[in-house]
């Protein structure tokens, strides 16, 4: 394409209920059905998570709520409950659309030029609930978009899904120079948390949180100079050895995350193979990638913080600085792992709080079931 599509007006939101990691740890560790080993794993997982706070749509989990008919946490007994998948999904239906509409509205309202009438496509992203007519429909009706807006939903892909959503948006813009694509990710991961003795489930419980993000993607030229990211190039890599180590299944008591302790090692072992094609057509980047100086060529790294150990391994293998992984670590510490929405939180932080300058290169990367690594090469657009 002659001009890269630009991601602009990126906005992020979280629900009102804040979870303090140490308080949630104590509740999970105190469950009477846990054996001593599981209690130790809970303590270690929560303490080593790199998270201070998370957010949830479940008021019950605030630990101060006195719900008359608790579904997830009975404060009186201190017991964590395990509702059926149908109950969890009904809460998703009730709560998710508000975040979809709110995030989408904020993105539109923050843009000085783009209005509802300009939107040609809507892409919604989520892996934590289902319903139809879905969030894409809700956004069109609530924001007054044209009924003819093309709607797409990327569902159940896991933590990496916002990257293919941005790729699809850029492809729409390549096909139609007048396209303006609204991309919205909403994940309510806490709906699927529950007490367990399974180490993988315990790790997931210590990490996942709720959040939403939205942005506008277009190659159109507007009057105002708006900061954002040029979407230059995308690549999908697969680490087949990790298929069994990261998965997302539907069970009778919620969706079930498989997130084994082998994932950071697998990512570290294969990250060069997964990323090399992204830089293949740019000689200076390809050379830097192979000689270990890629961190000097690419200023900012929007790595999905799937967990602290994943960030540690990426930093070590790619020879990145502590500062380059700072945005991902700060998002993890403040918000936890919000699945597909998280990398958009990291990108927003890079643009607004990390001193990004016009022309700076950005590498974005997210990991999910498969084991799939989705990567993107971006350029900061920061008009002065």
pLDDT band at 119 (very low <50, low <70, confident <90, very high): very high
The per-residue pLDDT for range 275-319, each reduced to its tens digit, is 888 888 888 888 888 888 888 899 999 999 988 989 999 999 889
Active-site positions?
Answer: 159
The per-residue pLDDT for range 23-33, each reduced to its tens digit, is 999 999 999 88
Does residue 330 surpass a pLDDT of 90?
Answer: yes
Q: What is the C-alpha to C-alpha distance for residues 211 and 188, in angstroms, rounded to an integer?
A: 7
Average pLDDT over residues 152-165: 96
Domains of the chain in start order, with CATH, are: 228-381 (3.40.47.10)
Q: What is the C-alpha to C-alpha distance for residues 347 and 260, in angstroms, rounded to an integer?
A: 26
- Output the CA angle 312-317-318, nearest 5 degrees: 105
What angle in degrees, to the nearest 10, is found between the helix axes of 36-47 and 21-29?
170
Task: State pTM to two decimals.
Answer: 0.95
Both structure tokens of 108: 């539109």
The per-residue pLDDT for range 345-366, each reduced to its tens digit, is 999 999 999 989 999 999 999 9
Question: Taking the mean position of all CA atoms in its chain, how far away is CA 209?
Answer: 10
Residue 246 burial class via C-beta count within 10 angstroms: exposed 0-12, middle 13-18, buried 19 and up: buried
Helices and strands of the chain, counted as H and E runs? 12, 15
């Amino acid at each position: 394409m002659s001009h890269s599509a630009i991601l602009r007006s990126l906005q992020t939101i979280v629900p009102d209920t804040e979870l303090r990691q140490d308080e949630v740890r104590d509740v999970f560790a105190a469950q009477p059905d846990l054996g001593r080993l599981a209690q130790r794993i809970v303590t270690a997982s929560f303490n080593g998570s790199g998270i201070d706070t998370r957010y949830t749509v479940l008021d019950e989990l605030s630990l101060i709520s006195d719900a008359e008919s608790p579904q997830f946490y009975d404060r009186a007994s201190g017991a964590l409950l395990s509702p059926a998948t149908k109950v969890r999904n009904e809460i998703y239906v009730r709560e998710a659309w508000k975040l979809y509409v709110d995030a989408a509205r904020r993105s539109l309202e923050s843009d000085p030029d783009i209005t509802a009438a300009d939107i040609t496509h809507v892409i919604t992203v989520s892996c934590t609930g289902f319903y139809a007519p879905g969030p894409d429909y809700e956004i069109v009706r609530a924001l007054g978009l044209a009924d003819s807006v093309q709607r797409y939903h990327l569902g159940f892909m896991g933590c990496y899904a916002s990257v293919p959503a941005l790729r699809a948006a850029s492809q729409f813009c390549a096909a139609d120079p007048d396209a303006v694509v609204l991309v919205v990710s909403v994940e309510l991961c806490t709906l699927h948390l529950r007490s367990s003795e399974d180490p993988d489930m315990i790790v997931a419980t210590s990490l996942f949180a709720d959040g939403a993000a939205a942005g506008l993607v277009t190659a159109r030229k507007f009057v105002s100079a708006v900061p954002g990211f040029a979407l230059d190039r995308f690549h999908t890599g697969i680490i087949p050895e990790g298929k069994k180590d990261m998965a997302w299944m539907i069970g009778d008591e919620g969706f079930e995350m498989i997130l084994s302790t082998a994932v950071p090692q697998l990512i570290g072992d294969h990250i060069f193979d997964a990323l090399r094609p992204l830089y293949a057509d740019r000689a200076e980047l390809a050379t830097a990638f192979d000689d270990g100086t890629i961190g000097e060529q690419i200023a900012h790294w929007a790595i999905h913080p799937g967990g602290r150990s994943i960030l540690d391994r990426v930093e070590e293998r790619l020879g990145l600085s502590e500062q380059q992984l700072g945005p991902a670590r700060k998002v993890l510490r403040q918000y936890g792992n919000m699945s597909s929405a998280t990398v958009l939180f990291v990108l927003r932080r890079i643009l607004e709080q990390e001193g990004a300058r016009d022309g700076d290169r950005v590498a974005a990367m997210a990991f999910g079931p498969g084991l799939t690594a989705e990567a993107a090469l971006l350029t900061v657009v920061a008009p002065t």
